[in-house]
């Protein structure tokens, strides 16, 4: 009888964690969802709770935990500016102590370990598009640094646990991702635009809307995550969609899909908000034979339909 992998997903009830949980269960694997439900919600995993291979543990990863697992998918950390700036010290502590505790668990159990890092490690980039070799331009004392620097020290811990203790690590730098199970109040640009448009409100544009982002649909992202975990590559890999859109272009697409009569409302640009964000995914293409398949307009239609059903 083939042994089932026992997967631990920190942040397993969050946006990405819930999609990953579902995918692994569909593959016949066991999943332990570890979450303190700060930003995650049981609603995201409601359909999975009765699954015989699914287990939920309410736990804060800044405290150690003893489990027996084969793979650790370390996704836990508030990821939207509204949530990670709400308690910046806790965010930094989650990135450092949480990653430290999970790497200790990986060391003890000889589990494979994947860190969900972020494109925010590049800060407000001076290189475009951003390759994995780029070391970033981060304000170490800014309002976003609790997350940006938190993820950078998470990567450092992973690399040192690999070098010192031989832990089998993967580092995934995630670029803007969207899709079903996003929180309505997370302050991210796509959820903001969709919620405002569905309510018939003006769409808020920060700055003049010329800043750019690249948006990856969640199904594509999860495909890349699983391929990376299954690889033998221990250095950082960008996973994101390289198709670049200005914020005003995105707003116009959302407006067209929901209500063409809506107006825009321009607001002050937040401090340290990156002007450009676009991944180089040449490494992911070469290493994993991965690239995103879902075009922005098609992904937005799926996401808008989910928001309509769940608002």
Under 8 Å between Cβ of 63 and 119: no
DSSP code per residue over the chain: -PPPPEEEEETTTSHHHHHHHHHHHHTT-EEEEEE--SS--GGGGTTTTT-TTEEEEE--TTS------SEEEE--S--SHHHHHHSHHHHHHIIIIIHHHHHHHHHHHT-EEEEEEEGGGGBS-SSSSBPTT---B--TTSTTHHHHHHHHHHHHHHHHHHHHH---EEEEEE--EE-TT--TTS--HHHHHHHHHHTTPPEEEETTS--EEE-EEHHHHHHHHHHHHHS---SEEEES---EEEHHHHHHHHHHHH-TTPPEEEEPPPTT--S---B--HHHHHHH-------HHHHHHHHHHHHHHH-
Cβ atoms of residues 238 and 132 within 8 Å = yes
Position 116 in a domain: yes
In a domain, 224, yes or no: yes
More confident residue, 177 or 2: 177
147 has catalytic annotation: yes
Residue 160: what pLDDT?
A: 98
In angstroms, the CA 288 to CA 231 distance is: 7
Catalytic residue among 84, 122, 147, 161: 147
Q: Output b/e per residue, 55-92; b: 16+ Cβ within 10 A.
A: bbeebbbbeebebebbbbbbbbbbbbbebbbeebebbb
Name the band, by pLDDT with cuts 50, 70 and 90, for residue 81. confident
pLDDT of residue 276: 85
Mean pLDDT of 149-170: 98
Residue 94 lies in a domain: yes
Whether the upstream peptide bond of residue 80 has omega within 30° of 0, thus cis, is no
Q: What percent of the chain has pLDDT over 70?
A: 99
Global confidence as pTM? 0.95
Give the C-alpha separation, 57 to 59, whole Å: 6
- Indicate whether 201 belongs to any domain: no
Could you list the residue range(s) of the whole structural domain that residue 49 is in?
A: 6-179+216-241+279-293
Does any domain span residue 194?
Answer: no
Q: What is the mean pLDDT of the chain?
A: 94
Q: Has residue 192 been placed in a domain?
A: no
Contact 144, 81 (CB under 8 A): yes
What is the mean predicted confidence (pLDDT) over 280-295?
98
Residue 231 has pLDDT above 80, yes or no: yes
> Does 191 reside within a domain?
no
Residue 75 near residue 129, CB atoms below 8 Å? no
The domain that holds 64 is classified in CATH as 3.40.50.720
The structural domain count of the chain equals 1
Q: Is residue 272 part of a domain?
A: no
pLDDT in tens, 14-70: 999 999 999 999 999 999 999 999 888 999 999 999 999 999 999 999 999 999 999
Q: How is residue 100 written in tokens? A: 């430290």
Check residue 269 and give its pLDDT. Answer: 85
């Amino acid at each position: 009888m083939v042994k089932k992998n026992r997967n631990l997903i920190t942040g397993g009830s969050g946006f990405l964690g819930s999609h990953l949980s579902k995918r692994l269960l569909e593959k016949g694997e066991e999943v332990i969802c570890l979450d303190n439900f700060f930003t995650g919600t049981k609603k995201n995993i409601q359909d999975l709770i009765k699954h015989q291979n699914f287990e939920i543990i309410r736990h804060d990863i800044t405290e150690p935990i003893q489990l027996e697992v084969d793979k650790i998918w370390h996704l836990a950390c508030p990821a939207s500016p509204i949530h990670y700036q709400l308690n910046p010290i806790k965010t930094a502590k989650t990135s450092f102590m949480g990653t430290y505790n999970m790497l200790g668990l990986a060391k003890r159990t000889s589990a494979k370990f994947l860190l969900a890092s972020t494109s925010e490690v590049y800060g407000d980039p001076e290189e475009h598009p951003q390759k994995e070799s780029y070391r970033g331009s981060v304000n170490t004392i800014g309002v976003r640094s609790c997350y940006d620097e938190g993820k950078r020290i998470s990567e450092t811990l992973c690399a040192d646990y690999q070098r010192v203790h031989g832990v089998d690590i993967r580092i995934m730098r995630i670029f803007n991702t969207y899709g079903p199970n996003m929180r309505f109040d997370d302050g991210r640009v796509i959820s903001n635009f969709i919620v405002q448009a569905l309510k018939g409100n003006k769409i808020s544009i920060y700055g003049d809307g010329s800043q750019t982002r690249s948006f990856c649909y969640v199904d594509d992202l999860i495909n890349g995550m699983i391929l990376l975990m299954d690889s033998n590559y221990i250095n950082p890999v960008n996973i994101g969609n390289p198709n670049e859109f200005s914020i005003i272009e995105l707003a116009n697409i959302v407006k067209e899909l929901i209500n063409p009569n809506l107006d825009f409302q321009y607001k002050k640009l937040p401090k340290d908000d990156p002007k450009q964000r676009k991944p180089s995914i040449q490494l992911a293409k070469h290493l994993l034979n991965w690239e995103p398949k879902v075009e922005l307009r098609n992904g937005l239609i799926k996401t808008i339909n989910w928001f309509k059903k769940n608002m």
